Amino acid sequence: MNHTIVKPNRRDTLFGLGTGLGSIAFASMVHGNESLPHHAAKAKRCIFLMMEGGPSHLDTFDPKPELAKQHLKAFTRSGEMESAMSSGKRYFVKSPFDFVKAGQCGADISSPWVHLREMVDEICFYRGAQVESVNHPTACYQLNTGNQFGGDPAVGSWVTYGLGSPNENLPGFVVLPRTSYPQGGAGNWSNGFLPAKFQGTPLRSSGSPILDLSPVDEITQDRQRENLDLLAQLNQQHLAARPGRSDLAARMDSYELAYSMQTEVPGVIDLDGESARTLAAYGIGDAKTDDFGRKCLLARRLVEKGVRFVQAYAGNWDSHDYIQKAHGSLIRSVDKPIAALLRDLKQRGMLEDTLVVWCGEFGRTPDNGLRGGGQSYGRDHNAKAMTMWFAGGGTRAGHTVGATDEIGGEAVECVHHIRDVHVTLLHLLGLDDNQLTYYHAGRHKQLSQFGGSVIKELLA
């Protein structure tokens, strides 16, 4: 049976070019799957290490000797210090960890970070970031999409929308979540109002990375190709009569991508080809580090294959109690894998143009309520102070930027809202937040919501 494909007319073509990035979309048509950046990029790709739950800056990378002096001293609402230990009051909590000066740069790092301290000369620590919400789902949404209430495109979606993907057989934006999704669920990597093809693709941590990735045995590859070709012809006819329907176009693209992924994905996720030395370096095989070690190694393999944006999740950082035990265990679970990732990228000559980001959705407070007879020291949520760090991709290696006050309660130096962090991330990847827009609901929208500024102190 012959099927005639209806080609879009000139008016429909112009309509398609007018919905979104205009010139960049046209450049994508001309240059294939990749688009042209707005300016010279320092980074070609990004690995985003998301510590969901809110890691404590005070117990990782921002030491506060004043907290040791004020340990277990309570304070009234007026701020007047008391030495009372009565229940219902809040009290200061010192860090249970010692800090060391690591590397030639003398970066501050807490004692549980045994391996990462060897890589601090590649890292830019930033202590000036602030967010708005202390609620986990809304804070995660704001960190990942710029909007506290969800529904907007994730950072990775914006990046792949602006730059495309060098590998047509793999998604441009891949997510490596926990077994249970983070608070807020898949909205953390949603395409939002962008075309559906830009949503993040989660790979499962066990079993088949994507359900139903491979066809049943009875269907040969040739037969599957014939079926897809026929379906593409029918869908193209349907789309030609309905210009601007990005959902249908994305569905058509997804069929082709899934077909390509059947041969590409198994090879990428199969770690058997890695040397025993590499697996050991990432902590694979050790129960404490195996899970995140696999994510970090897989992230390196994915960006090596052309994936533009990879986000790897490590959860349970919400340490309201027993912070020494909880944060100590969490740091040990990611310390070796992250250090191995940075070292591996550097040895392969990839760190220079790969931006690595480490952060949670907010920081922690220098105080907590009295619980457990004063023995279960923990911390509450803090939107006004947090530490995040960057490595590679044109960032200022071996430096610490910004500062919090003497007790770590609030950022006081080089203070920037998370929107400026987003603008800086896009800038390093060659994208201008003010130009990277999409027309939706009557206006041109952008990642920063309504504009922001590049944090120049973070740039090399």
pLDDT of residue 2: 44
Q: Which helix (H) or strand (E) holds 62?
A: none
Angstrom distance (rounded) from CA 380 to CA 405: 17
pTM, 2 dp? 0.86
Looking at residue 454, what is its pLDDT? 98
Residue 63's identity, in one-letter code, is: P
Two tokens, residue 116:
């990462």
276 and 318 in contact (C-beta within 8 Å)?
A: no
Is the Cα torsion angle 388, 389, 390, 396 positive or negative in sign? positive
Which amino acid is present at 275?
Answer: S
Mind listing the pLDDT tens digit of every residue in the chain (460 residues)? 444 444 444 444 444 444 444 333 333 433 346 888 999 999 999 999 999 999 999 999 999 999 999 998 886 544 444 444 444 578 899 999 999 999 999 999 999 999 999 999 999 999 999 999 999 999 999 999 999 999 999 999 999 999 998 888 899 999 999 878 999 999 999 999 998 889 999 987 555 566 455 565 666 667 766 666 777 677 778 778 877 666 677 666 666 666 556 666 767 888 988 999 999 999 999 999 999 999 999 999 999 999 999 999 999 999 999 999 999 999 999 999 999 999 999 999 999 999 999 999 999 999 886 554 455 788 999 999 999 999 999 999 999 999 999 999 999 999 999 999 999 999 999 999 999 999 999 999 999 999 999 999 999 9
pLDDT at residue 358 in the model: 98
Residue 1 burial class via C-beta count within 10 angstroms: exposed 0-12, middle 13-18, buried 19 and up: exposed
Q: What's the pLDDT at 11? A: 42
Given a contact cutoff of 8 angstroms between Cβ atoms, the answer to whether 404 and 61 are in contact is no
Residue 167, pLDDT score: 87
* CA–CA gap between residue 305 and residue 276 (Å, rounded): 21
Question: Can you list the positions of beta strands (E) in 43-196?
Answer: 45-51, 74-75, 81-82, 90-92, 99-102, 107-110, 123-126, 129-130, 173-176
Beta bridge partner(s), residue 158: none
Name residues whose C-beta falls within 8 Å of residue 37's C-beta, 6 or more positions apart in sequence: 162, 163, 429, 430, 431
Which residues, other chains included, contact 18 with Cβ-Cβ below 8 Å and sequence gap of 6+? none
Rounded to a whole number of angstroms, the distance between the first and last alpha carbons of the chain is 61
Q: Look at residues 391, 426, 375, 460 and name the one whose alpha carbon lies nearest to residue 162.
A: 426
pLDDT recorded at residue 157: 98
Within 10 angstroms of residue 297's Cβ, the number of other Cβ atoms is 23
Q: Which domains does the chain have, with CATH numbers?
A: 10-212+273-458 (3.40.720.10)
